[in-house]
Amino acid sequence: MRAWINGQTLADASQPAIGVTDHGFTVGDGVFEAVKVVDNVPFALTRHLARLQTSASALGLPEVDLGEVRRGIEATMAGQDLPMGRIRITVTGGIAPLGSGRGDDPCTVAVVTAPAKPYPATTKLATFPYPRNERGVLAGVKTTSYAENVVALAHAAEVGATEALFVNTAGNLCEGTGSNIFYVVDGELRTPTLASGCLAGVTRALIIEWCDVREVDEPAGVLAEADEIFLASTIRDVQGVHQLDDRVLPAPGPVTAAAMATWATREAESPDP
Ligand SMILES: Cc1ncc(COP(=O)(O)O)c(C=O)c1O
Cα-to-centroid distance, 86 and ligand 1 (Å): 13
Among 128, 175, 179, 267, the mutation site with the greatest number of ligand 1 atoms within 8 A of its Cβ is: 179
**Ligand 1 atom at minimal distance to the Cα of residue 180:** 4
Please tell me the predicted confidence (pLDDT) of residue 15. Answer: 87
Q: 239: Cβ below 6 Å to ligand 1?
A: no
Please tell me the predicted confidence (pLDDT) of residue 222. Answer: 98
Per run of 10 residues, the mean pLDDT along the chain (length 273 residues) is: 95 89 98 98 98 98 98 96 98 97 97 97 98 97 97 98 98 98 98 98 98 98 98 98 97 98 97 97
End-to-end distance of the chain based on CA atoms, in angstroms? 26
DSSP E strands in the chain: the ranges are: 2-5, 8-9, 30-38, 41-42, 84-92, 108-115, 122-127, 163-167, 173-176, 180-185, 188-191, 213-215, 228-233, 237-244, 247-248
Please tell me the residue having the least CA distance from ligand 1 atom 4: 179
Cα-to-centroid distance, 165 and ligand 1 (Å): 12
Q: 252: Cβ below 6 Å to ligand 1?
A: no
In degrees to the nearest 10, what's the CA dihedral of 172, 178, 180, 183? -80
Q: 34: Cβ below 6 Å to ligand 1?
A: yes
Cα-to-centroid distance, 177 and ligand 1 (Å): 8
Q: 93: Cβ below 6 Å to ligand 1?
A: no
Among 43, 52, 88, 142, the mutation site with the greatest number of ligand 1 atoms within 8 A of its Cβ is: 142
Q: 204: Cβ below 6 Å to ligand 1?
A: yes
